Amino acid sequence: MTASKSSRARQARAQAQRGQASSRNGTAVKPGATVKPGATVKADATVKAGALVKADSPARAAAVRGGGVDRRGSRSPVPVASADVDAPATTTVPVWFQLVTWVLSLAGLGVSIYLTIAHFTDKPLAGCSESGAINCTKVTTSPQSFVFGIPVAVLGLAFFIAAVGLMSPWAWRWARREVALIRIASLVVGIGFVLYLIYAELFIIGAICLYCTSVHAITFLLFVLTAFAAAAWGLPKGERG
């Protein structure tokens, strides 16, 4: 009789402890309910007697915690991709902007090729006056048409060959910081050279070359567009090695 009472007392204490644990977890499980090992019972959920509680996927739970579960149920480390891995660098400059700068560079390259050919063949430039304020021959044969012994036409040709590459859609998409800096630096040098040539035409030579003016205008547009791109979309952050 005493043993029976002790057994009932132990059962009562065990039930009370289970009730306290379930109340702390916010879960009420009635006596007699069958819960599978590893099952997860939602908070405030009431499980009827004899009901089976469906367990959450152990693999899914472990994946959330950053580990894996093998078939025996034991956890094993699973490599998880780091959130700090950088995506390939790309540019935000619109495609239409890339094409505009590239077409302008190609136009400048075409004019520079023609001026270079005319310089070495001594042929007059087509459609350009040779008298008055607009006099292409006077400009292209003046001492100012050479800089450090190099024909200005050749320097312009070299500049636009580089510009075609730097302004191409491939160069814009290849969002490397050093490419953007070279692009800006080349145009700063180019616009400075253009200002010198305009000064020479107006105040030293006293004549204007229409072909040269078209090259100056293209260089100025490229300078403005590149500066606008840097201000509007910023410079690329570069690629990490």
Residue at a domain's end among 48, 77, 106: 77
How many angstroms separate the Cα of 151 from the Cα of each of 137, 215, 217? 14, 15, 19
- Are 222 and 157 found together in one domain? yes
At 4-45, the pLDDT tens digits run: 555 666 666 666 666 554 444 444 445 444 545 445 544 444
Q: Which of 16-20, 66-70, 199-203, 219-223 shows the lowest mean pLDDT across its residues?
A: 66-70
Query: Which tokens go with 72?
Result: 């025996």
Q: Could you tell me how far CA 135 lies from the centroid of its own chain?
A: 47
* Residue 89 located in a structural domain: no
Residue at a domain's end among 77, 110, 133: 77
- Are 119 and 190 found together in one domain? yes
pTM above 0.85, yes or no: no
**Which residue would you say has higher pLDDT here, 123 or 159?**
159
Partners of 205 in the β-ladder: none
- Are 29 and 118 found together in one domain? no
CATH number for 147: 1.20.1440.130
- Are 118 and 218 found together in one domain? yes
* Residue 146 located in a structural domain: yes
CB of 159 closer than 8 Å to CB of 234: no
- Are 16 and 116 found together in one domain? no
Overall domain count for the chain: 2
- Are 133 and 216 found together in one domain? yes
The domain containing residue 169 runs over which residues?
95-233
pLDDT for 239: 56
pLDDT of 62 strictly over 80: no
- Are 223 and 111 found together in one domain? yes
- Are 120 and 65 found together in one domain? no
pLDDT for 128: 85
Please name which of 206, 210, 105, 108 lies closest in space to residue 165, comparing C-alpha atoms.
105
